[in-house]
Amino acid sequence: HIVVVGALNADLAIRVDRLPAPGETVSGRDVEVLPGGKAANQAVAAARLGGRVRLVGAVGDDDSGRMLREHAAAAGVDTSFVAMLPEVPTGQAIIPVDDAGENSIILVPGANGAIGPENIPVEAYADAAIVCLSLEVPLPVVLRAAARAVAAGAAVVLNPSPFRPLPGELLDAVSVLIVNELEAEQLLGPTVAPAWPGAAKALRAALQPHGIDRIVVTRGAAGAVVVDGKAVTEVHATSVDAVDTTGAGDAFTGALAVRLAEGDPLAAAAAEASVVAAFSTTRRGAQPSYPTASELAEWR
Ligand code: ADP
C-alpha cells in the first residue's frame, strides 16, 4: 500500500485577473468548491493512476468532509482511516487563481489542525510500502507517522510543505525528499546556493548527515532536478498551456509514489511524475485535474 498521511481541504477556488496585492481589492468570478488538501490530493493522484492507496487524516462532521471522503473513495482511495472529528469544521483553503494559472492560498486548518497522533491507529500502516507525509497537519502527527512508517519497513516520502524548520528526528526517517524551489532555498537557509542543478548538490550535502541522498526539486515549468546518490538528473517539464497549477506538486508526489511502489528508480519515477503534473495544470482545480492511467496514455 501507499499510505498518505495529512490534510484534506475543501478548496474555495476563485478566478481573478491578477492576485491582489496587500490592501488591494480585485474582483473574482467562477467560484467553485473543489476537493483538495495535500494528502487527499496525493492520494487521489496515486489512486487514479492505479496505485493501492490509503488516506489517513481527519475531517469535520459537515458537507465538506463528506464531499472529500466521497471524492477520494470514488477515485479508489481507502478512506477508512479518515477520522471524523465532531467538534471542528473540515479544513478549508481559499485559492484565488489568476489568468496565468498562478495561485495564492489561505489555509484554514479546522480538522487538519485538530488531529493528533491518537486519532491514527497503528493499523493504518498495515502493508505500507511507501508513506507520504506533508506538513498541513500538526508536527506530532507527522513525527508519529514517520516512526510508524519506519517500524513497518516503509519508505518515507516527505514533502515539507507548507515549509517549517524540520526536526532531525523527522529528517532521519526520510527516504525521499520532494521540495519545490522555494522550499529548497528555505532548507538551505543562509547557505548561498549555486544555480540549478548545482543547488540540488548543495541540498544533498546539507541533508547527508541525516542519510538523505534521494531528493527531488520541482521547478514548475522548468521541470525538476533529481538527486539519487551521486547521480544528478534533470527532468524536463512537458510543455503545456497551464490554466491552473493548483495541486501540481501533489500530482507529482502521488505519481512518484506509484512508480516507486512499482520499483522504478527515482529519476524514472520523477520523469513520469512530471508528465502527470503537467497534465494536471491543463485542467482546473487540484483533484479534478488528475488523470487516470488511460487519460494519460491518450494525452501523451
Ligand atoms: P508546487 O506546486 O509544489 O509549488 P511546482 O510548481 O514545482 O510545485 O510544480 C510541480 C511540478 O508540476 C513540476 O515539477 C512540473 O513537473 C509540473 N508543472 C508545474 N507547473 C508547470 C507548467 N507550467 N508546465 C508544465 N509542468 C508544470
Q: Could you tell me the mean pLDDT of each successive run of 10 residues in the chain, 300 residues long?
A: 98 94 94 95 98 98 97 98 97 92 90 97 97 98 98 98 96 97 89 76 94 96 96 95 91 98 98 98 92 96
* Cell digits of residue 96: 484565488
Residue with the nearest Cα to atom 5 of ligand 1? 220
Whether 17 is covered by a domain: the verdict is no
Measured CA to CA, the distance from residue 178 to residue 159 in angstroms comes to 5
Residue with the nearest Cα to atom 10 of ligand 1? 249
Whether 23 is covered by a domain: the verdict is no
Judge whether 111 and 89 are in contact, CB under 8 Å.
yes
| Per-residue confidence (pLDDT) for residue 246, from 0 to 100 | 85
- Catalytic machinery residues: 250
| Per-residue confidence (pLDDT) for residue 162, from 0 to 100 | 92
95 in helix, strand or coil?
Answer: strand
- Give the distance (Å) from ligand 1 centre to CA of residue 248: 5
| Per-residue confidence (pLDDT) for residue 192, from 0 to 100 | 65
**14 ligand 1 Cβ < 6 A:** no
Domain holding 203, by residue range, is 2-8+37-91+111-299
CB atoms within 10 A of CB 241: 7
Q: What is the CATH number of the domain that holds 287?
A: 3.40.1190.20
**163 ligand 1 Cβ < 6 A:** no
Longest pairwise C-alpha distance within the chain? 51
109 in helix, strand or coil?
Answer: coil
**Total count of domains within the chain:** 1
| Per-residue confidence (pLDDT) for residue 240, from 0 to 100 | 95
Whether 143 is covered by a domain: the verdict is yes
Whether 168 is covered by a domain: the verdict is yes
CB atoms within 10 A of CB 154: 24
* Cell digits of residue 289: 485535474
| Per-residue confidence (pLDDT) for residue 4, from 0 to 100 | 98
